[in-house]
């Protein structure tokens, strides 16, 4: 298939490009580089030995999208492009509604105008808010707790309604749990701007000496060791989940939603220990107050993706830590 990958220069998009190429698909990246660098594409070419077409553009720019759809005959779109910082979304909600919601609406409209009928969308486990129980399955009610989460739930609705109205359109909505890790080459990985919001990139920056210590947000949760528990999923497993979703789209029209997670939860301290093992160093940490809006624990029920997509996460936290460390230690300043 020839696939347009919006946000393909970003963390998950870049790894997914490699998974697509490995299965013989062709990719065209569309990215405005607001949270990534063009160097990523050079690294993708180095790993894959394939030239990667890339168009610099914004998903809110109707005419840039029309141009790229006119220049290529796409079979499908994987839509990663968007903004993802929860705190920033609370401070500047309109920016999030513009890029995440309007950008997705415009993209869907342009896809239909060019008769491209398959889309895979990056949603997030954040749409569930605080779940009534764990593990979380796809039938749980959605209670997003911040503007970022609302944008993801809104785009899911837009795609579901549009697929219902245009029966040729197929949409797969993928709710990611906590992506972590990097490609085993150590050439690409997560490269956050400024202070990392998420646990794994923060630990990696402490390990490489860029930050003094990890702040552990709370050790009084009702969990195994008092720290927050999440379902960390290796980014290459996540990437392969997108390829499985794409292949299912051509077999099954309509809209479909899947959790992409492992089904296992790990605490902050367990992740820290896995990282210490991978890098062979002690990682200093200090316990601080809980972070506003955090949930004690959640993990996925990934059974539906396994049954319907034939996909299951294969890599464990030791591999996530080892691959993150290879990336971070080879590239202490990122790309």
Q: Which position among 11, 96, 148, 232 bears the catalytic label?
A: 148
Which residues, 6+ apart, have CB-to-CB distance to 208 below 8 Å?
A: 328, 329, 332
280's torsion region: left (phi>0), alpha (psi -120 to 50) or beta? Answer: left
* Residue nearest to ligand UD1 as judged by C-beta position: 228
Q: How far is it, in rounded angstroms, from Cα 295 to Cα 265?
A: 13
Instruction: Name the segment binding ligand UD1 (CB under 6 A); options: 73-81, 132-140, 162-170, 191-199.
Output: 191-199
Instruction: Name the segment binding ligand UD1 (CB under 6 A); options: 162-170, 197-205, 255-263, 310-318.
Output: 197-205
DSSP state of 98: I
Determine the size of the site formed for ligand NAD (CB under 6 A).
27
Annotated active-site residue 148? The verdict is: yes
Tell me whether residue 114 or residue 281 sits nearer to ligand UD1 (CB atom).
281
Q: How far is it, in rounded angstroms, from Cα 223 to Cα 229?
A: 7
Binding pattern for the stretch 32-61 against ligand NAD, x by CB under 6 A and - elsewhere: xxxxx---------------------xxx-
Cα–Cα nearest to 3, from 119, 105, 108, 155: 119
| Residue 7 binding target from ligand UD1, ligand NAD, none, CB below 5 to 8 Å by type | ligand NAD
The answer to whether 160 and 123 have CB atoms below 8 angstroms apart is: no
Q: For the packed helices 103-113 and 62-71, what is the interaxial angle rounded to 10 degrees?
A: 40
Choose which of 161, 220, 225, 294 interacts with ligand UD1 (CB under 6 A).
Answer: 294
Q: H/E element holding 208?
A: none
Q: How far is it, in rounded angstroms, from Cα 301 to Cα 93?
A: 30
Instruction: Name the segment binding ligand NAD (CB under 6 A); options: 5-13, 250-258, 260-268, 277-285.
Output: 5-13
Choose which of 3, 4, 5, 11 interacts with ligand NAD (CB under 6 A).
Answer: 11
| Residue 32 binding target from ligand NAD, ligand UD1, none, CB below 5 to 8 Å by type | ligand NAD
101 part of the interface to ligand UD1, by CB under 6 A: no
- Bridge partner residues of 5 (DSSP): 29, 78
176 part of the interface to ligand NAD, by CB under 6 A: yes
The answer to whether 13 and 20 have CB atoms below 8 angstroms apart is: no
Please provide the distance, in angstroms rounded to a whole number, between the alpha carbons at the two ends of the chain.
29
The answer to whether 103 and 154 have CB atoms below 8 angstroms apart is: no
Three-state DSSP class for residue 122: strand
Tell me whether residue 31 or residue 237 sits nearer to ligand NAD (CB atom).
31
255 part of the interface to ligand NAD, by CB under 6 A: no
181 part of the interface to ligand NAD, by CB under 6 A: no
- Residues forming the site for ligand UD1 (CB under 6 A): 86, 124-126, 148, 178, 197-199, 202, 214-217, 228, 230, 268, 291, 293-294
- Residues forming the site for ligand NAD (CB under 6 A): 6-7, 9-13, 31-36, 58-60, 80-84, 99, 103, 122, 124, 176, 179
The set of catalytic residues is 148
């Amino acid at each position: 298939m020839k696939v347009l990958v919006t946000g393909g220069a970003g963390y998950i998009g870049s790894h997914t490009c490699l998974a697509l190429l490995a299965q013989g698909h062709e990719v065209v990246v569309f990215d405005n580089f607001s949270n990534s660098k063009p160097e990523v594409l050079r690294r993708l070419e180095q790993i894959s030995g394939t030239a990667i077409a890339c168009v610099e553009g914004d998903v809110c720019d109707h005419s840039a999208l029309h141009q790229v759809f006119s220049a290529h005959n796409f079979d499908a779109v994987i839509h990663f492009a968007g903004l993802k910082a929860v705190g920033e979304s609370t401070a500047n909600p309109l920016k999030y509604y513009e890029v995440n919601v309007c950008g997705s609406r415009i993209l869907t409209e342009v896809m239909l105008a060019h008769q491209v009928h398959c889309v895979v969308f990056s949603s997030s486990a954040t749409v569930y808010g605080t779940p009534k129980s764990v593990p979380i399955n796809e039938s749980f009610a959605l209670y997003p707790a911040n503007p970022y989460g609302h944008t993801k739930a809104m785009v899911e609705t837009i795609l579901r309604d549009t697929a219902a109205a245009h029966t040729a359109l197929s949409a797969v909505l993928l709710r990611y749990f906590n992506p972590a890790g990097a490609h085993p080459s150590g050439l690409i990985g997560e490269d956050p701007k400024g202070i990392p919001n998420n646990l794994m990139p923060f630990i990696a920056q402490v390990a490489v000496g860029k930050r003094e210590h990890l702040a552990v947000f709370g050790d009084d949760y009702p969990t195994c060791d008092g720290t927050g528990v999440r379902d960390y999923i290796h980014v290459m497993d996540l990437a392969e989940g997108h390829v499985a979703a794409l292949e299912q789209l051509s077999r099954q029209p309509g809209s479909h939603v899947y959790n992409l997670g492992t089904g296992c939860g790990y605490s902050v301290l367990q992740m820290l220990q896995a990282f210490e093992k991978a890098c062979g160093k002690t990682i200093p940490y200090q316990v601080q107050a809980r972070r506003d809006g955090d949930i004690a624990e959640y993990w996925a029920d990934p059974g539906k993706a396994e049954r319907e997509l034939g996909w299951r996460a294969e890599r464990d936290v030791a591999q996530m830590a080892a691959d993150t460390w290879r990336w971070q230690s080879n590239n202490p300043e990122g790309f």
